[in-house]
Structure 1
Amino acid sequence: MAASDLSPDAQAPALSVAGVSHSYGPRTALDDVSLDVPRGRFVALLGVNGAGKSTLFNLVTRLFTTRRGRISICGHPVDSAPRAALAATGVVFQTRALDVSLSVAQNFRYQGALHGLPWARVEPRMMALLDRIHMADRAGDKVGRLSGGQLRRVEIARALLHGPRLLLCDEATVGLDVQSRADIVADVHRLAAEDGTGVLWTTHLIDEIWPDDPVVVLHRGRVLARDTARALAGDGTLQQAFLAMTGPDAATPAPPDTAEIPA
């Protein structure tokens, strides 16, 4: 069954976050955060390190349990219907997750097995996805032979293998050069538009956001603004607007928002 068939409401957004708060002991990481990711749209979650982006990402993927508020994926509450919610979700973590000792195809085969998909279904889907990112000729190559940008593109394609309606990308271009980042962002925008997949793209890099992208500015655990990048920029630039909202924090590295997770 395709992930899109699992939704109880075809009109429900790919992701709905309503009034979510989360703390690590005395430190509040998220405070009454709400946002929606429509299907077929690339939504940027913009914030400096320590803003709460990774905490929210971990709540959506059920690595943490939501303590206050509601999170739904394609209409499925992640707390009461986690299997259906996660079945509709593809994830690209900041830490690279491909097995570099295996080929690209073997990594896809393993991913398919996790979703209960036979190779007869995985192989044509894999080749179609790799073709769309111009890497069909690399299916038999060991992942360890790929460049950083190629590896990330394969990870994103692999996350789409089971046909999710929501794609979560947490700082997916970290450590890559400017051109590789631009190529990956363009790939993900195109995939979202063509497949109707909602994308939540967490980043602190303003040049990864296109003018018409919906943007949610997260700072110190609170949503400061939500609008298109063009509207937030006004008569200036998005960077200027972001600096005005976040002040010196935007220029000063902050500790990761998971720094105080209990051992």
Structure 2
Amino acid sequence: MSKTVVSDEPPSSSNQAAALSVAGVSHSYGSRRALDNVSFSIAPATFLALLGLNGAGKSTLVSLITRLFGVQSGSIEIFNHDIRHRPSEALRMLGVVFQPRTLDLDLSVTQNLVYHAALHGIGRREALARADDLLRRLGLADRSKDKVRVLSGGQMRRLEIARALLHRPRLLLLDEPTVGLDVKARFDILTYVRRLVSEDRISVLWATHLFDEITPDDDLVVLHHGKVRAHGVASHVIKDAGAPNLHSAFVQLTGAAVDTVSSAP
């Protein structure tokens, strides 16, 4: 039988706005409810893992946060800016890496970045300077003139992260960013994103179905069939579920069959 656990959340200063606040959000596609009264928040400079299987509602939530879909019920705020009432201010603070690739394969690495920068009103000279810095940090400086189509899957993902960081957001949202990548590419991307949190103090929402991408110290939201089944520090969620590990805790919290969880794509 599934149960809901709300565990201890990481401490946050009372005078700091949450990087992301999702409050009472529900969303339906016709008669099918994809999200049901979802609430959680991300403290500044925090890595939060949104864990759920396919169909959990992760992509719907991402679409709401990024305003691809309108909010039907509840509210979403990014650093106190409501995305319905102050969308420009909210989205200015948000960088996004969507699950589907959205790069122009026939443009070069740098051209992709400069084009995206222009959409944010960043001039060419400043765009080139920021692009050079990000490509260096992400290990892509030597590929700057290459067309995107010749990059590996991991390199494309790193480029998408660079693009998402061009306008210097305070919150980075990544929807299943390591799907289809090999073990090393997954490790490199996750390591870099965690470094953004620890060194650059960027807040991160990392949506995934992969248990091994979550550490015991991460803030964690377990989403299943559109409902939050647990929210808290991952180690506390596991302990409160009376489970030996995250995989077992997830099964207990969601009631999902073990073979379904084990074979998640």
1:174 aligns with 2:182: no
**1:256 equivalent in structure 2:** none
Q: Give RMSD over aligned pairs.
A: 1.6
Using structure 2 for the length normalisation, give the TM-score.
Answer: 0.88
1:207 aligns with 2:212: yes
Matches for 1:181-220 after TM superposition, within 5 Å? 181-220=186-225
Give the AA of the match of 1:168: L
Following the alignment from structure 1 to structure 2, what is the Cα–Cα distance between the partners of residues 29 and 249? Answer: 20
Q: How far is the alpha carbon of 1:10 from its aligned partner? A: 7.9
Following the alignment from structure 2 to structure 1, what is the Cα–Cα distance between the partners of residues 161 and 134? Answer: 9
Q: How far is the alpha carbon of 1:215 from its aligned partner? A: 0.5
Residue 217 of structure 1 aligns to a residue in which SS? strand
Q: How far is the alpha carbon of 1:250 from its aligned partner? A: 6.1
Deviations 1:142-201 (A, max 9, x none): 111111011101101110000011111111111111221111111111112222211111
Residue 185 of structure 1 aligns to a residue in which SS? helix
1:228 aligned to which of 229, 233, 236 = 233
Following the alignment from structure 2 to structure 1, what is the Cα–Cα distance between the partners of residues 251 and 204? Answer: 24
**2:96 equivalent in structure 1:** 91
Runs of 4+ in structure 1 over 4 Å off: none
**Structure 2 unaligned blocks of 5 or more:** 1-13
Following the alignment from structure 1 to structure 2, what is the Cα–Cα distance between the partners of residues 220 and 125? Answer: 40
Q: How far is the alpha carbon of 1:100 from its aligned partner? A: 1.1
Matches for 1:74-153 after TM superposition, within 5 Å? 74-153=79-158
Residue 20 of structure 1 aligns to a residue in which SS? strand
1:244 aligned to which of 240, 245, 252 = 252
Aligned length: 245
1:68 aligned to which of 47, 54, 73 = 73
Identity %: 55
Following the alignment from structure 1 to structure 2, what is the Cα–Cα distance between the partners of residues 37 and 140? Answer: 37
Deviations 1:182-224 (A, max 9, x none): 1111111111222221111111011111221100000111101
Following the alignment from structure 2 to structure 1, what is the Cα–Cα distance between the partners of residues 258 and 60? Answer: 18
Residue 172 of structure 2 aligns to a residue in which SS? strand
Following the alignment from structure 1 to structure 2, what is the Cα–Cα distance between the partners of residues 144 and 66? Answer: 35
Following the alignment from structure 2 to structure 1, what is the Cα–Cα distance between the partners of residues 131 and 15? Answer: 26
Q: How far is the alpha carbon of 1:34 from its aligned partner? A: 0.6
Following the alignment from structure 2 to structure 1, what is the Cα–Cα distance between the partners of residues 170 and 258? Answer: 32
Cα pair 1:48 1:250 within 8 Å, conserved: no
Following the alignment from structure 2 to structure 1, what is the Cα–Cα distance between the partners of residues 246 and 190? Answer: 17
Q: How far is the alpha carbon of 1:251 from its aligned partner? A: 3.7
Distance 1:190 1:250, change over 3 A: farther
